[in-house]
Amino acid sequence: MTRAPAFFSTVILSLGCAHAPVAVEGPLIEVVLDEGKPDQRPLTPDKTFELLMRFDPKLPSYRLVRARFQLAQPGKLVFTVYAVDGSGRPGAPLKTIERNYPPACAGSADDGKWVVEDLSDVPPLGAPVFVGVYSPIKQEDPRLWACSNDSGAVFARDADPSLPMSSTKVRRTPRLRLVVAPAN
């Protein structure tokens, strides 16, 4: 896991499609799972499955500020931020964002375009979080850019919460990052 400087995050955030005004506060830490060079556009699971990414800022207490991701192909996506339960698995949903991302939000692997979503209304946390993503419309093919690195923190699972957690590690890492701030 890498932590990019806060000023770098602010500069990059000025690019791309922002759907909500995001107030910049400091100090900020960007939690990164990918290796930085997108080279793949893997399929986004449909509603049957969910791609899960585990983020651990390694802070005793923190607030989520925003998420940013690189969209490779437009379409409708659902992002869900989950608390971690007592066994270290995705627990209660903390926030869900369901949005149709237009072609203007999609970019190439190297154009530096990021989509930004506000997460500042999520209560303070003291443990890792999971971010899940899937496409609710089978006929669409929205995709996030991804890197070929195996972060060990990306999984695919059945999206039905009534089923036991059975996940498969995914050997590529989507370009989705979380910006956090230490909680006071």
Secondary structure of 80-120 as H, E, C letters: EEEEECCCCCEEEEEEEEEEEECHHHECCCCCCCCEEEECC
Instruction: For tokens 């896991």, name the residue.
Output: 1
Instruction: Please name each of the domains of the chain with its CATH number.
Output: 2-182 (2.60.120)
Going by the DSSP 8-state scheme, the letter that residue 18 receives in this structure is B
Residue 47 or residue 10, greater confidence: 47
Contacts of 150 (CB under 8 A, 6+ apart): 169, 171, 172, 173
Going by the DSSP 8-state scheme, the letter that residue 181 receives in this structure is E
Residue 76 or residue 168, greater confidence: 76
In this prediction, residue 17 carries a pLDDT of: 57
In this prediction, residue 184 carries a pLDDT of: 77
Average pLDDT, rounded, for the chain: 82
